[in-house]
């Protein structure tokens, strides 16, 4: 029999991880990615909980450790760069605000692609123009021309997934968190050190600088506002918007805003979550952010994607019927996703208070986070919840 032919859309984190596990089962896997070539940019992400167990089973944990950003913690600083509160990377056994395994999105994606490319076909610079589930197969028309049929199409795109929207339409529900965040790279300065620095500004804004392992620094600017379409603006308009909104921010913000003129990797997103009543329809299924984006606030996006890829591939290997596999995948992942998405709507206001008094109070509370008698309480608040799943051992079950 010919191997099952599967198309995976999206080559960031979830897509290559999914392709790796599927290809190990002997399936014929193609990954299509809209970007013209591999994208090595992106913000710092963490691998924790079940996601860490998945990369361990992939044999990638040590490679990830060798390519981490080596952040030592997070310092909350005032306008004079004085540290008002500090939480070290080991404060909550490596599972706090800064995790033990922090890596650039592009660095992790590169490792995953390299780990899978011998058995997987990667098709960059193309995307799906039309898709039709014909019952026994899925017919796909590509933007660059050409038509192919697949046994399954698995959508591992981002929060705004075009393919998901085509297939599920009005079933797609977005939960806005009334927060915008811009990410980009800036030249490294001696003051950047090995610690993430977080600076709050009145009005519900914050400016952060994070060290990387490539000789540069990752910056992000956040401001609280209901979805206003800013993510759809041209980049020069986004840069002008950020300069206007943060013109009075002080601290090292002028240096960061000046770097906007030269940056080529600006990414501005309306932070939110994806809520779906079902993650599959016929021979098409969703995984990662396209299905259940939990938002950067949750701290669980990467681990959800890695674990979702592992479980989806594992269930497809365990069940001959894709309908049964999709149902089992959803049953296993739903509690984990629900836990990760339990982010209160007021979370952005807690992280970035609107008044100077609120900022000072926040710093005072954070100074207690690692103090004896308070650490256990704050561990529940500052460590993302990630214990609602135990990844099945699919290889062991196949050997029985």
Q: Cα separation of 114 and 309, whole Å? A: 17
The 3-class SS string of 175-199 reads EEEEEEEEEEEEECCHHHCCCEEEE
Tokens of 206: 């914050």
Strand partners, 180: 223, 270
Give residue-wise pLDDT tens across range 316-333: 999 999 999 999 999 999
Give residue-wise pLDDT tens across range 211-237: 999 999 999 999 999 999 999 999 999
Tokens of 127: 């995307």
pTM: 0.92
Residue 134 burial by CB count (10 A; 0-12/13-18/19+): exposed, middle or buried? Answer: exposed
Question: According to the model, what pLDDT value does residue 380 have?
Answer: 64
- Percent with pLDDT over 90 in the chain: 75
Give residue-wise pLDDT tens across range 242-288: 999 999 999 999 999 999 999 989 999 999 999 999 999 999 999 99
Q: Considering only residues 31 and 92, tell me which one the structure prediction assigns the higher pLDDT.
A: 31
Dihedral angle over CA of 363, 247, 98, 349, nearest 10: 50
Which domains does the chain show, CATH number per domain? Answer: 5-68+103-174+272-344+394-399 (3.50.50.60), 178-267 (3.30.9.30)
Distances (CA, A) of 275 to 284, 292, 296, 304, 309: 17, 6, 15, 14, 18
């Amino acid at each position: 029999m010919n191997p099952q032919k599967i198309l995976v859309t999206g080559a960031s984190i979830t897509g290559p991880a999914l392709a790796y596990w599927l290809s190990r089962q002997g399936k014929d896997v193609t990954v299509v990615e809209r970007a013209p070539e591999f994208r090595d940019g992106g913000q710092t992400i963490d691998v924790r909980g079940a996601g860490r167990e998945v990369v361990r089973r992939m044999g990638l944990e040590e490679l990830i450790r060798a390519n981490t950003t080596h952040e030592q913690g997070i310092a909350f600083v005032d306008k004079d760069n004085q540290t008002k509160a500090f939480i070290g990377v080991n404060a909550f056994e490596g599972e706090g605000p800064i995790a033990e395994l922090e890596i650039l999105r592009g660095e992790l994606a590169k490792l995953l692609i390299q780990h899978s490319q011998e058995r997987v076909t990667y098709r960059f610079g193309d995307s799906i123009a039309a898709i039709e589930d014909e019952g026994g197969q899925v017919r796909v028309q590509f933007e660059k021309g050409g038509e192919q049929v697949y046994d399954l199409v698995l959508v591992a795109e981002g929060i705004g997934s075009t393919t998901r929207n085509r297939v599920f339409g009005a079933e797609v529900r977005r939960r806005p968190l009334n927060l915008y965040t811009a990410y980009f790279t800036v030249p490294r300065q001696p003051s950047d050190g090995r610690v993430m620095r977080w600076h709050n500004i009145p009005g519900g804004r914050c400016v952060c600088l994070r060290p990387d392992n490539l000789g540069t620094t990752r910056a992000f600017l956040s401001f609280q506002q209901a979805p206003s379409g800013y993510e759809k603006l041209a980049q020069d308009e986004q840069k002008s918007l950020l300069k206007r909104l943060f013109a009075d921010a002080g601290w090292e913000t002028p240096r960061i805003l000046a770097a906007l003129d030269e940056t080529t990797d600006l990414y501005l997103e309306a932070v939110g979550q994806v809520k779906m009543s079902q993650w599959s329809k016929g021979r098409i299924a969703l995984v990662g952010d396209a299905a259940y984006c939990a938002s950067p606030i949750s701290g669980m996006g990467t681990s959800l994607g890695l674990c979702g890829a592992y479980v989806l591939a594992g269930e497809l290997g365990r069940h001959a019927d894709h309908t049964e596999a999709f149902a089992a995948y959803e049953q296993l992942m739903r509690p984990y996703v629900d836990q990760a998405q339990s982010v209160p709507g007021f979370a952005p206001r807690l992280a970035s208070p609107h008044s100077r008094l609120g900022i000072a109070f926040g710093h005072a509370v954070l100074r207690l986070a690692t103090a004896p008698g308070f650490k256990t309480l704050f561990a529940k608040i500052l460590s993302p919840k990630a214990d609602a799943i135990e990844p099945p051992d699919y290889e062991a079950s196949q050997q029985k």
